């Protein structure tokens, strides 16, 4: 499959601190990529640079054939990059349905009844149809996570970055979210998953990339990466 | 409230107010009523940026004064009629809003707020040193004859302000339910999530800031005519800053009706208190009410009504 | 406009003293806003309140600097109470308009303080008297007012003391860290809320002493807080949020610039300098000189 995302030599500094140094990564269209690494390794910084929440200091980011590293986040969303947030950020004053109508309007240009219908479809797939009229500030953790994914889906992405969507969820809830991600991938959406829950990463990813201290230290199949001594050292310490 | 109901009600209210201006009522009613209606304009204007987008403008006096002085300049230099003064005031204040926005809306909200305070001082310094508009001592003005058949100029100003109030509330309501309003609400709730949902946050913030500024300037433009006098001390009055902030917060920010309720209640209260007690106390009362509401009833009167309705179901 | 090297030198000299003074009155904001990220627009109002309290103590014959020291623990307690209230009401509950409400709260607080001062003391200026106010030190051709030297002295001591506290003591370093990484602090067993409470208390206590210095430098009036919003935020933003040492550098830049403008254009333009400089920094380099 063609490469849909190409990250080359990306560097990001915060003052004197180097969060990412010379990160290069290629993601194929339709791929399921797992991104792992200990806390502070730069995973969230990397996806912030990809999604446009941050601008990288050096290097290039090409999406779908275009250079996007100087584009704003909303421009990148319109090009097809969607993400969920580690700590869910619902539009609290809006209902679940209204939350989805924002990307539908601003990315898809759809509003009114057509938007409502499409939102309900997405919500049904996520198992949230019953909560459509609920104020998003009143959702449970797992419902919030699902809504994050639903809202990302409403932007009709080609690439979805899921940032620790399962953190803090119980066993069956993890399976629910995992199932949703598999279904989305089945529809042709490329998915980058950041997760700490190793079982989820192993079962979901076709390929895994491990970051540590702002650099990629290993790349390969889930078994290869997890079995790599450097990776184990990064997680467990010397 | 549907659009038809709103516009019919607005037309009725406007007709009543303008009709009043032709009646035999006491002149003081129009003098005080002008102030109340002006606050409806200012509060609605503030709410567009503060309530819908979540960016707090502390510099209302700067925008109101820009409108007043812009109106003054075209009146003094060109003998421009009231409508032109108002349009000029709106234009200059809108530009001011756009400039301040371009400078600071990329940054966090508090920097925008501090920048609006900066604008007050800088503009006040400019005006103090500008002889054409009277500098520190100000200018006396001779009002022209009232047009449209009004008995006094104040009555005409009252009617004009009534029209402006309806226009401001109409614009505010339109924005709230529009595509832009949806985007503003999203960016107010979470700017990052809004960006990732395709909302061009900077563009929308600039639009809101410009419209808000323009309406504030329009509200301030008739001031020189109203007072027959203009001076920096009263134009850059801090009371404008607190009141214009307090009214939407007390009425209920984020909804077009909030500033209207807040302005009608608070401005009327102020007129009563100033007459009976002192003007410092009046402004203190507003400040205390602001803090009380922010702490206890953050959704304002509208919010209180909503939760009262919900609990009585 | 008379321009001479001598005048310029005197302006710069005065500006250095003034700048250290500005740094001192901005210290509290540097902690509250720079480190703790609280939208504390009421900081200058509390500064002016401190000045007026010093004035009150002054009427009983207490030396202003001493008064400031006496007021410091009182204001510390006040700061703790304000932070507690702010935390419980705004930070904890969050909600849709938390940011707007927090800002509106501090703005309302500042306003209430200002109007309260007007009602209590009137709009006229109030000053204090002390041995060092009114006379000047003469160095060759230059005259340096003693009160400026006193202010300069206190400012330096205060800045050094606070900087050392924040970098050498455990609680001080915890305060520096709490703005950046609450999680790590929690893991170390420290309670972030209590740390922030302590920090805000210190910031307010420092403000009391700074207020004393303010009234030593010159008479005060209730509306002064609005002018000092410009000066203190200019210093804090120019320094870069979170940088204590930058506060001194930024203060000096502001002080010297204002002093030169005062010399060249007169007193009516001086207030606009801090605000103009602030806007410039926000537009060109919002992270300031040494910001994170």
CA distance B269 to B278: 13
pLDDT of residue A151: 94
Q: What is the DSSP string of C154-206?
A: HHHHHHHHHHHHHHHSHHHHHHHHHTT-HHHHHHTT--HHHHHHHHHHHHHHH
Residues of B whose CB is below 8 A from C226? 117, 120-121, 238
Any domain includes B296: no
Host domain of residue C77: 5-284
Residues of A whose CB is below 8 A from C239? none
Q: How many residues does chain A have?
A: 238
pLDDT (mean) for A207-221: 91
Residue pLDDT, tens place only, A155-182: 999 999 999 888 888 888 888 889 889 9
Min Cα distance B180 → chain A (Å) is: 10
pLDDT (mean) for C216-226: 90
CA distance B308 to B300: 12
Any domain includes C289: no
pLDDT (mean) for A115-131: 91
pLDDT (mean) for B260-267: 94
Host domain of residue B96: 3-236+251-256
- Would you call A92 and C292 a contact, using CB atoms and an 8 Å cutoff? no
Q: Closest CB to B288: pick one of C103, C112, C272.
A: C112
Q: What's the mean per-residue pLDDT of chain B?
A: 90
Number of domains in chain C: 1
pLDDT of residue C108: 92
Whether the pLDDT of residue A236 is over 80: the answer is: no
- Would you call C96 and A15 a contact, using CB atoms and an 8 Å cutoff? no
Q: Closest CB to B122: pick one of C101, C109, C276.
A: C276
H or E stretch covering A22: strand A17-28
Number of domains in chain B: 1
Residue pLDDT, tens place only, C20-57: 999 989 999 999 998 888 889 999 999 999 999 999 99
Selected residue of A92, A95, A98, A135 to mutate for chain C interface (largest C Cβ count, 10 A): A92
Which string of b and e fits B200-224 if b means at least 16 CB within 10 Å?
bbbebbbbbbbbbbbbbbbbbbbbb
Residue pLDDT, tens place only, C50-104: 999 999 998 888 888 899 999 999 999 999 999 999 988 887 766 555 678 888 9
Residues of C whose CB is below 8 A from B115? 278-279, 282
pLDDT of residue A73: 94
- Would you call B118 and C279 a contact, using CB atoms and an 8 Å cutoff? yes
Which string of b and e fits B89-119 if b means at least 16 CB within 10 Å?
bbbbbbbbbbbbbebbbbbbbbbbbbbbbbb
Min Cα distance B197 → chain A (Å) is: 5
Confidence of residue C228 (pLDDT cuts 50, 70, 90): very high
Residues of C whose CB is below 8 A from A93? 96
Nearest residue of A to residue B180, measured between CA atoms: A106
- Would you call B196 and A74 a contact, using CB atoms and an 8 Å cutoff? yes
Residue C285 forms contact with A (CB below 8 Å): no
Superfamily of domain A3-89+157-236: P-loop containing nucleotide triphosphate hydrolases (3.40.50.300)
Residues of B whose CB is below 8 A from C104? 56, 245, 249, 290, 294
CB count in 10 Å sphere of residue C66: 14
CA distance A132 to A129: 5
Nearest residue of C to residue B112, measured between CA atoms: C282
- Per DSSP, the three-state class of B158 is helix
Joined together, the tokens standing for residue B245 give 């902030």
CA distance C74 to A44: 44
H or E stretch covering B192: helix B191-196
CA distance B85 to B172: 22
Confidence of residue C3 (pLDDT cuts 50, 70, 90): low
Residues of B whose CB is below 8 A from C233? 114
Any domain includes C253: yes
Q: Closest CB to A14: pick one of C95, C96, C292.
A: C292
Assembly ipTM: 0.90
| Portion 57-76 of B in contact with C at CB < 8 A | 58
pLDDT (mean) for B197-224: 96
pLDDT of residue C292: 59
Who contacts A22 (Cβ-Cβ below 8 Å, separation ≥6)?
A: A9, A10, A11, A59, A215
pLDDT (mean) for B70-87: 92
Any domain includes C91: yes
List the CATH number of the domain containing C187. 1.10.3470
Q: What is the pTM of this model?
A: 0.91
Pairing of strands A215-220, A207-212: antiparallel
Which residue reads 């002889």 in tokens? B131
Who contacts B150 (Cβ-Cβ below 8 Å, separation ≥6)?
A: B21, B22, B156, B159
Q: Closest CB to B109: pick one of C103, C112, C282.
A: C103
Any domain includes C158: yes
Residue C286 forms contact with A (CB below 8 Å): no
CA distance B270 to B267: 5
């Amino acid at each position: 499959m063609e490469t849909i995302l190409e990250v080359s030599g990306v560097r990001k500094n915060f003052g004197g601190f180097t969060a990412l140094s010379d990160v290069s990564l290629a993601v194929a269209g339709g791929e399921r990529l797992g991104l792992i690494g200990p806390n502070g390794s730069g995973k969230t910084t990397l996806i912030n640079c990809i999604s446009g929440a941050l601008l990288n200091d050096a290097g290039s980011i090409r999406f779908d054939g275009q250079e996007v590293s100087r584009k704003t986040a909303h421009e990148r969303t319109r090009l097809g990059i969607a993400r969920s947030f580690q700590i869910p950020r619902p539009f609290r004053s809006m209902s679940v349905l209204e939350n989805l109508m924002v990307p539908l309007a601003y990315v898809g240009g759809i509003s009114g009844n057509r938007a409502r219908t499409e939102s309900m479809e997405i919500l049904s797939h996520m198992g949230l149809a019953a909560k459509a009229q609920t104020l998003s500030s009143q959702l449970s953790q797992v419902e919030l996570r699902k809504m994050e994914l639903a809202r990302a889906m409403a932007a009709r992405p080609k690439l979805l970055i899921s940032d620790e969507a399962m953190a803090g969820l119980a066993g069956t809830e993890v399976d629910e979210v995992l199932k949703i991600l598999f279904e989305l991938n089945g529809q042709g959406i490329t998915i980058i998953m950041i997760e700490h829950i190793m079982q989820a990463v192993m079962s979901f990813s076709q390929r895994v990339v491990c970051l540590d201290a702002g650099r990629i230290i290993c790349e390969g199949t889930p078994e290869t990466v997890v079995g790599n001594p450097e990776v184990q050292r990064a997680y467990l310490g010397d | 409230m549907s659009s038809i109901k709103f516009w019919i009600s607005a037309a009725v209210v406007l007709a009543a107010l303008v009709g009043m201006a032709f009646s035999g009522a006491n002149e003081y009613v129009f003098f005080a009523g002008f102030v109340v209606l002006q606050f409806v304009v200012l509060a609605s204007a503030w709410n567009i940026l503060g309530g819908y987008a979540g960016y707090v403008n502390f510099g209302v006096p700067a925008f109101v004064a820009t409108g007043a002085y812009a109106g003054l300049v075209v009146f003094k230099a060109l003998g421009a009629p009231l409508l032109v003064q108002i349009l000029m005031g709106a234009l200059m204040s809108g530009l001011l809003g756009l400039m301040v926005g371009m400078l600071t809306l990329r940054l966090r909200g508090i920097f925008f707020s501090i920048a609006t305070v900066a604008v007050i001082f800088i503009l006040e310094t400019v005006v103090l040193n500008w002889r054409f508009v009277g500098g520190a001592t100000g200018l006396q003005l001779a009002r022209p004859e009232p047009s449209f058949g009004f008995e006094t100029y104040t009555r005409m100003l009252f009617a004009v302000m009534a029209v402006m109030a309806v226009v401001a509330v109409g614009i505010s309501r339109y924005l709230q339910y529009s595509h832009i309003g949806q985007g503003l609400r999203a960016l107010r709730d979470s700017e990052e999530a809004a960006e990732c949902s395709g909302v061009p946050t900077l563009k929308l913030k600039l639009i809101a800031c410009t419209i808000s500024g323009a309406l504030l300037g329009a509200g301030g433009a008739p001031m020189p005519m109203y007072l027959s006098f203009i001076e920096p001390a009263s134009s850059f009055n801090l009371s404008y800053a607190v009141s214009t902030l307090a009214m939407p917060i007390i009425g209920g920010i984020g909804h077009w009706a909030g500033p209207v309720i807040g302005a009608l209640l608070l401005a009327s209260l102020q007129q009563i208190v100033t007459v009976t007690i002192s003007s410092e106390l009046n402004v203190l009362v507003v400040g205390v009410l602001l803090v009380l509401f922010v702490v206890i009833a953050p959704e304002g009167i509208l919010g209180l009504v909503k939760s009262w309705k919900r609990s009585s179901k | 406009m008379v321009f001479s090297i001598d005048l310029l030198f005197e302006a710069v000299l005065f500006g250095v003293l003034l700048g250290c003074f500005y740094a001192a009155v901005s210290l509290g904001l540097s902690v509250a806003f720079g480190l703790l990220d609280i939208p504390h627009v009421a900081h200058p109002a509390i500064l002016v309140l401190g000045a007026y309290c010093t004035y009150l103590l002054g009427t009983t014959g207490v030396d202003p600097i001493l008064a400031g020291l006496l007021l410091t623990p009182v204001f510390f307690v006040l700061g703790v109470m304000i932070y507690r209230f702010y935390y419980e009401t705004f930070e904890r509950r969050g909600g849709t308009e938390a940011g707007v409400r927090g800002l509106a709260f501090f703005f309302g607080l500042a306003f209430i303080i200002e109007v309260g001062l007007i009602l209590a003391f009137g709009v006229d200026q109030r000053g204090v008297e002390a041995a060092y106010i009114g006379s000047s030190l003469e160095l060759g051709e230059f005259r340096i007012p003693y009160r400026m030297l006193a202010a300069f002295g206190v400012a330096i001591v205060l800045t050094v003391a606070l900087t050392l506290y924040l970098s050498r003591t455990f609680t001080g370093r915890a305060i520096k860290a709490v703005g950046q990484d609450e999680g790590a602090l929690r893991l170390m067993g420290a309670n972030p809320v209590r740390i922030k409470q302590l920090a805000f208390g210190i910031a307010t206590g420092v403000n009391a002493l700074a207020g004393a210095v303010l009234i030593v430098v010159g008479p005060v009036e209730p509306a002064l807080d609005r002018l000092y919003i410009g000066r203190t935020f200019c210093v804090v933003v120019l320094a870069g949020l979170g940088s204590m040492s930058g506060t001194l550098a930024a203060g000096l830049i502001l002080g010297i610039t204002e002093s030169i403008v005062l010399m060249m254009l007169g007193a009516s333009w001086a207030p606009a300098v801090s605000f103009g400089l602030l806007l410039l920094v926000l537009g060109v380099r919002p992270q300031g000189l040494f910001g994170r």
